[in-house]
Amino acid sequence: MIDLCYVGNSSNDEIIVNNEIFNTLGGSCIYSSFSSWASFNGRIAIISKVNSNTSLLLKEKQIKFYGTIVNRMTEFIINESKSTCESRFYNTDRIKLETRIDVNYLHISLRKGVNIQNILENELLNYNHLSVDVMIHSVTDFIPIIEKYASKIEILFCNINEYNIIKKYVKDIPLVIVTNENKPVLVITPTNTISYNVPNINNIKSATGAGDTFIGGFLSKYVINKDIDESISQGIYNSGKSIENIGPLSYDQLCINKIIKPQLLPNNMIVIGNSCAGKTIFINFFKDLYDIYSDIDDLDPLLETFMLDDLLYQNKIEEFKEIKNKLKYINKIWKEYNDNLKTVSHYTKPAKMGDGHDIIRPVLWDYIIQMAVTNSETHNIIQFSRGRDELYELEFIENAYFRSIKSFINDLLNSDNCIIVNLVSSLKTRRDRNRIRFENGGHYVSDETMNNVYSKDIFEYTKIGDSFGYLIVDDKIIPVCTIVNNKTLNEIDLNKFLEYNVNRVIEYYNDFKEKKYGIKKDSKRYLAK
């Protein structure tokens, strides 16, 4: 039996780096199989189309070849400086299987030029486990294949851009492994997400084939014992060696000297704080590292409500009627207004002083966050502000933050995997930021609202330290991390501040999960949960 078999294209590549031209063997299954060969002593094979010289090279490496011998392999011109990949010659021959193959782990690169169904349904090919990877240029073409064979696919490999295209189609695949250049590698399961930091590489020569090399390194360990930490570490290590050179790995042996420790990421991050406390800046920095999260912000439904109210206050009935089909969130409010046009009970009114609006029906605070959360996905960042509203407190006798979180928490997927990040900033600092935001074309919160509603931080939670604690909502215990954001910083200092606090949030989330649930910092335990 073959331990590990790769299916994909093989090619002769011309790689242009800094105006230098390098001719090298390439293709997904070449990069992956050579990577596995460097870190695995088992039986490796490829199913592809290669010329006779490449067939001899594979034989020298004791990589078994199945498929078709061709006179001329596919040829690519890859210009890394321009980020282009052009086909100079494309071999259209079919991959033929003529002998029975028994494979333990089968990996298929979903690429044009490979008849995937012919491979997967070929009676001559018998496999125990299946993994696949995708490529940005053709990923949408293979969505039907992913959907059709989702129940058989155990692991899907992709980069961050590919993941954001196909994430709604891979929710049930047991392991989705996402690379993002020098940023953390993510292992996503239906219930948890694990992050692995990538060491800095200083001597970078070529990025071509780095993803395929990662796959080869990962699977070379995974086929042995399914140890995720070791497999990810080997994948990162091999990929690092790949980008220090040009072309497939030529090493005889690559052994990792360190296992990268995993960190658990929340599926849902609830970012709260008074207006202009710095929520958006924090979120943008976090997403630059972990760009798998969908944004949920109740500002958009709030602005839609302001717009409806303004139209009716100005008696622009026809515009009000026409705007119905353009609304994304507040169709219920539009219908309520439309059914009662002569006696509309407005949710907001223009502010008495300055620009902006005042909320006159406090239940709107609940409505807008509920409407925003209807678009939630597997990973979400929910951003909103709440302040002191006497009408709200009189009507509901509950903290506005607590009531808002309670209203949507159970509607989130993986709602047990949440953290609340509470950003705190002085009123003066926030008033200055509010004015600057408005001058730069952003939303403006009225002075009256800033001074009265958002004057103080009203979020309440059980503290277990100066800036840490938890909130109990229904039967859920949600960790809370507070960030004090009072300073105006230059870009360098701001990035240091954000990096420090992002790390604090993740570390506290992991510590909290470990203490509450007994989850050790071990991927096997994470995946088991």
Are residues 286 and 179 part of one domain? Answer: no
Whether residue 161 sits in one domain with residue 94:
yes
DSSP class of residue 353 equals: S
- Compare 446 and 75 and report the one with higher pLDDT: 75
HSE-CB for 474 with a 13 A CA cutoff: 12
Start-to-end CA distance of the chain, whole Å, equals: 33
Mention every residue, 6+ apart, whose C-beta is less than 8 A from residue 528.
none
Has residue 342 been placed in a domain?
A: no
Neighbouring C-alpha atoms within 13 Å toward the C-beta of 86: 6
Residue spans of alpha helices (H) in 40-103: 52-60
Q: Does position 376 have pLDDT exceeding 70, yes or no?
A: yes
In a domain, 402, yes or no: yes
pLDDT grade for 392, boundaries at 50, 70 and 90 = confident
Distances (CA, A) of 162 to 156, 261, 292, 438: 11, 25, 11, 35
Identify whether the C-beta of residue 119 lies closer than 8 Å to the C-beta of residue 125: yes
> Would 280 be classed as within a structural domain?
yes
Range of the domain at 186: 2-265
- Whether residues 256 and 397 share a domain: the answer is no
Element (H, E) at 163: helix 160-166
Same domain? 273 vs 258: no
Domain boundary among 265, 289, 319: 265
- The Cβ of residue 525 has, within 10 Å, a number of other Cβ atoms equal to 17
Last residue of a domain, one of 241, 265, 289: 265
Residue 292 sits in a domain whose CATH number is 3.40.50
What pLDDT does 526 receive? 57
Tell the residue number behind the tokens 């296992």, with chain if given.
259
Mean pLDDT over 421-438 rounds to 93
* Rounded Cα gap, residues 454 and 450, in angstroms: 5
pLDDT score recorded for residue 519: 46
Alpha-helix runs per DSSP H in 187-298: 210-225, 228-243, 279-289
Token couple for 292: 């798998």
304 within some domain = no
Two tokens at 269? 């991050």
Residue 523 confidence (pLDDT): 61
At 164-221, the pLDDT tens digits run: 999 999 999 999 999 999 999 999 999 999 999 999 988 899 999 999 999 999 999 9
Structural domain tally of the chain? 2
pLDDT at position 364 over 60: yes
Torsion, CA 337, CA 312, CA 368, CA 386, rounded to 10:
-130
| % of the chain beyond a pLDDT of 90 | 78
The predicted model gives 150-162 an average pLDDT of 96
Residues 222, 157: Cα–Cα separation, whole Å: 13
Question: What pLDDT, in 10s, does the model give residues 248-291?
Answer: 998 888 889 899 999 999 999 999 999 999 999 999 999 999 99
| Non-local CB neighbours of 463 within 8 Å, separated by 6+ positions | 469
Kindly list the distances between the CA atom of residue 254 and the CA atoms of 204, 216, 239, 249, 251, in Å, as whole numbers in the listed order: 18, 12, 11, 10, 7
Between vectors from CA 182 to CA 180 and to CA 187, what angle results, nearest 5°? 45
Q: What is the pLDDT of residue 52?
A: 96
309-315, long-range: CB within 8 Å, 24+ apart, which pairs? Answer: 309/346, 309/347, 309/348, 309/349, 309/357, 310/350, 312/337, 312/341, 312/344, 312/346, 313/346, 313/349, 313/350
**Cβ atoms 180, 161 nearer than 8 A:** no
Mean pLDDT of 421-450: 91
Strands of the sheet containing 63-69, edge to edge, are 63-69, 44-50, 2-7, 101-109, 125-133, 153-159, 175-180, 183-188, 193-196, 263-265
**What are the structure tokens assigned to 524, written together?**
């096997």
Q: Evaluate whether residue 322 is within a structural domain.
A: no
The mean pLDDT value for 502-527 works out to 76
Strand order in the sheet with 84-89: 20-26, 11-17, 74-79, 84-89
Strand partners, 15: 22, 78
- Backbone φ and ψ of 394, nearest 5°: -65, -40
Domain identity same for 214 and 276: no
- CB contact at 8 A, 461 and 468: no
- 39 within 8 A of 234, measured Cβ to Cβ: yes
Are 175 and 102 in a shared domain? yes
Do 386 and 505 belong to one domain?
A: yes
**Which one, of 188, 156, 174, lies nearest residue 262 by Cα?**
188
Q: What is the rounded average pLDDT for all residues in the chain?
A: 92
**Confidence class for position 516, pLDDT limits 50, 70, 90:** low
Residue 34's pLDDT is 97
Q: How many angstroms separate the Cα of 521 from the Cα of each of 131, 225, 407?
A: 26, 18, 32
CA 415 to chain centre: 17
Per-residue pLDDT band at 227 (split at 50, 70, 90)? very high
Q: Residues 227, 369: one domain?
A: no
CA distance 353 to 342: 27
CATH number of the domain encompassing residue 189: 3.40.1190.20
In this predicted structure, what is the pLDDT of residue 522? 55
Which is higher by pLDDT, 449 or 348? 348
| Same-domain pairing of 173 and 240 | yes
pLDDT at 527 over 90: no
* Closest among 189, 198, 195 to 265, alpha carbons compared: 195
386-374-527-183 Cα dihedral, nearest 10 degrees = -70
Structural domain includes residue 68: yes
Same domain for 225 and 274?
no
Q: What pLDDT score was predicted for residue 488?
A: 86
Dmax over CA atoms of the chain, in Å, equals 85
* 275 and 241 share one domain: no
Q: How confident is the model at residue 242 (pLDDT cuts 50, 70, 90)?
A: very high
Question: Which stretches of 325-410 are DSSP H helices?
Answer: 331-339, 364-373, 390-396, 400-408
Claim to verify: residue 107 and residue 74 sit in the same structural domain: yes
Answer whether residue 501 shows pLDDT above 70: yes
Whole-model pTM? 0.89
CB 64 within 8 Å of CB 44: yes
Looking at residue 447, its pLDDT comes to 86
The residue behind tokens 């509901």 is 396
In a domain, 340, yes or no: no
Instruction: With beta carbons less than 8 A apart as the criterion, state whether 206 and 241 touch.
Output: no
Q: Is the pLDDT of residue 102 over 80?
A: yes
Provide the percentage of residues in the chain whose pLDDT is more than 70: 97
Please indicate, yes or no, if residue 354 is contained in any of the structural domains: no
State the pLDDT confidence band at 528, using cuts at 50, 70 and 90.
low
